[in-house]
Structure 1
Amino acid sequence: MDVKQILTMCDHTLLKQEATWEQIKTICDDGKAYDCASVCIPASYVKQAAEYVGNDLKICTVIGFPNGYSTTAVKVFETEDAIRSGADEIDMVVNLGWVKDRRWDDILEEMKAIKASCQGRILKVIVEACLLTEEEKIKLCELVTESGAEYIKTSTGFSTGGATVADVALFKAHIGPDVKIKAAGGIHSFEEAQAMIDAGASRIGASALVKLVKK
């Protein structure tokens, strides 16, 4: 797959705490120029960005980010607010404490509530794979499939590790046929992105790939 094709699968990302509007505008410009799948940005910039790009680029934002332990009600409110502001795609973080407590029904109920709040928009569930056992990863594949979410996503990029080929392959083996995989976190080259795609990823979350093209 060539560089242009990979970029069409990329959520061009800027989620640093100190991100400014000028920086957000730049990644929006780059996202349009390189035909990226979306830009993934903080919720506080969604309205400005959606107005800035119009219909030329999808806007993705994050919910319960990066720790995942907000209440379900808060995550639902965040989602509804993001949709009102113009978000096209939602990336939410699963409650990892609930995973460790094996509160599977609560996790599924939360996923379904957020999916309903998306009002037909794409939902990606971030499971923070670096903090999970293999058994927990497999169980979350099952829950994401049951929830109706479109994607399972490997990582926030804010924890102890990012995407791995092994995790993408594991997800691919255990998700339902209608669920896709977003590999995100620590993807710094097109070779790494290609390896994730070869393992089964349909979307790449990265801040580095467009920068490589612009050099």
Structure 2
Amino acid sequence: MMNAKEAARLIDISAVQAYHGKKEIDELLVYAKKYNFISVHTLPSWTKYISEELSDYPEIFVGAPVGFPSGGAHTTIKLHEASQLISDGVQEMDMVLNIGKLKSKEFQYVEDEIRQVREVACDLPLKVILETHYLTDDEIKRACEICIHAGVDFVKTGTGWAPSGATIRVIKLIKEFVGSSIKVKASGGIRNIETFNEMLNLGVERFGINIWTSIDIVQGFGN
């Protein structure tokens, strides 16, 4: 039976909405340290601050997104953003793939862009956000295939900004398609411990969850 500490090591605790300011970021840090969540994710302008605040907590990773939330930025912008994040102390990056290019069947463009960000990230964990709410099942599968070919570490369901993200149906679809070829991060719409457990049993290896839901889920596992 999983305990609270083990559950926390599967959760990227996040505050990535546009309205999140220093108050929310500082709350995020307090609870990240208290529960020892595996990673803290904020929007890029907070990365340096987060890195400094977590300098004495090497077991808690500093995370931030690239191309967030639309994925539609020019590749050169994404590469610059990734480089800046590294300068600011990021330890994990969650990149939004170019959703419009994927839906336009410009698959080589999508893969080339991911590969270039992968090169900038070097050995840092790179997760690619598919934003599954906007994709058909076939597009989800093609995106997963591209991510596997590009050598990223995780496929991630969503940004948390779309109307839906991680659903049981989508997680099943992804896991049945990718098997053990790539890890899966479930993010967007995870609201309770029951959903967390069901997705965990389906093979999800990381979760992206907002601060208060993360705390509720971890507390639900007891000590």
Do they superpose with TM above 0.5? yes
Deviations 1:176-207 (A, max 9, x none): 63410000011111211111111121001001
Structure 1 unaligned blocks of 5 or more: none
Deviates more, 1:116-125 or 1:205-214: 205-214
Residue 46 of structure 1 is matched in structure 2 by 47
Residue 166 of structure 1 is matched in structure 2 by 169
Which residue of 91, 94, 113 maps to 1:91?
A: 94
Deviation at 1:55, TM superposition (A): 4.6
Deviation at 1:164, TM superposition (A): 0.8
* CA contact 1:7–1:209 (8 Å) conserved in 2: no
Normalising by structure 1, we get a TM-score of 0.95
Residue 205 of structure 1 is matched in structure 2 by 208
Deviations 1:67-118 (A, max 9, x none): 1100111011111100110000000111111111101111000010011111
Distance 2:160 2:37 in 1: 19
Q: Which amino acid aligns with 1:64?
A: G
Q: Which amino acid aligns with 2:21?
A: T
Which residue of 166, 181, 186 maps to 1:183?
A: 186
Deviations 1:135-185 (A, max 9, x none): 111111111101110000001111121201121122112226341000001
Q: Which amino acid aligns with 2:100?
A: G
Residue 111 (str. 1) matches residue 114 (str. 2): yes
* SS of match in other structure, 2:85: helix
* CA contact 1:142–1:176 (8 Å) conserved in 2: no
Distance 1:33 1:209 in 2: 15
Deviates more, 1:186-195 or 1:63-72: 186-195
Normalising by structure 2, we get a TM-score of 0.91
Structure 2 unaligned blocks of 5 or more: none
Q: Which amino acid aligns with 1:19?
A: H
Q: Quote the sequence identity (%).
A: 28
Distance 1:97 1:156 in 2: 15
Which residue of 74, 77, 91 maps to 2:77?
A: 74
Residue 9 (str. 1) matches residue 10 (str. 2): yes
Bigger relative contact order (CA 8 A; separation at least 6): 2
* CA contact 1:65–1:93 (8 Å) conserved in 2: yes
* CA contact 1:161–1:186 (8 Å) conserved in 2: yes
Deviation at 1:124, TM superposition (A): 0.4
Deviates more, 1:126-135 or 1:205-214: 205-214
Distance 2:148 2:177 in 1: 9
* SS of match in other structure, 1:168: helix
Deviation at 1:119, TM superposition (A): 2.1
Distance 2:135 2:207 in 1: 20
